Each structure stands twice: as C-alpha cells, then as structure tokens.
Amino acid sequence: MFGIGPGELILILILALIVFGPNRLPEVARTIGKTLNEFRKTSEEVTSAVARQLDLSEAASKADSPAPTPPPAIQPVHGIPLSKVGEVVVADAPAAQDETPTPAAAAASNANEAGDHAEAGGTEQHD
C-alpha cells in the first residue's frame, strides 16, 4: 500500500496497541479509515478538475489557432518558364567567361609566354 511490508505492518499495529490501548484502538482505526477515504475522494476530485481544465485549455488553443496554409506555388522568373531557367543561365555563361578571363587562365597564359621567351633566348640550365 505505502511500501510497507507485512513485518513492518505488524510492528506498527503492536505499537498502536501499546500507545492507544485495546479500548481506543477501534476508534482510532475508524478515524484513520475515514480520513484516508476523504483524502482519496479529494485527490480524485482535484485530478478530475485538473484534467477538465487541461481539456478546456487545449480546446481553446485549437480554436484560436488558424489552420495552416500551404506554401504558394513557385512562379516563373521575369517571364521565363521554370523549365528554361537553367538553359538561360548556361546560354549566358560562355559570353561572360570570354569577356573576363579567370585568374588561373591568365596565369597559364603568362607562363606559356614566359616559356616561349626562354626558348628563344637560348638560355638553358644544367643541373
């Protein structure tokens, strides 16, 4: 019941018999029983009241919150259909690359020019 084993219960009953005596023991047991019964009823009432309050607050919060809306559909960009967007970017890419060389391409071009000048000068290095 309250985590009390049979040996402990017998010890408590013997102590109660010694403290209260055989004449008052039935009256004390009756009072303890009534008190426990009232405590149990009060506990059940509080539990049900809390459960009702939680149900009411959940129902109120569901009624106050709006239903979720789906995200808007994706629209074409500046009149270009979505299926053509990648093609337009790829078609414009080579023109942009021709105008401005990348740093790697510029370095490779400079290295080739330097190599041509070294061969023309006839200077060779021997190890």
What confidence tens digit (pLDDT) does each residue in 27-40 have? 988 999 999 999 99
Judge whether 88 and 80 are in contact, CB under 8 Å.
yes
Mean pLDDT: which of 26-30, 40-44, 101-105, 110-114 is highest? 40-44
Counting every residue written for the chain, the total comes to: 127
Give dist(CA 62, CA 40) in Å, integer.
33
CA nearest 17: which of 4, 2, 28? 28
Split at pLDDT 50, 70, 90, the class of 47 is very high
Question: Does 46 share its domain with 2?
Answer: yes
Pick from 63, 90, 112: which residue ends a domain?
63
Judge whether 108 and 116 are in contact, CB under 8 Å.
no
**How many structural domains comprise the chain?**
2
Name the token pair of 27.
Answer: 């009256």
Give dist(CA 61, CA 48) in Å, integer.
20
Q: Is residue 50 part of a domain?
A: yes
| Neighbouring residues of 69: CB distance < 8 A, sequence distance ≥ 6 | none
Pick from 29, 63, 97: which residue ends a domain?
63
Residue with tokens 């299926």: 83
pTM tops 0.95: no
Question: Does 56 share its domain with 93?
Answer: no
pLDDT at 36: 94
- Return the higher-pLDDT residue of 60 and 7: 7
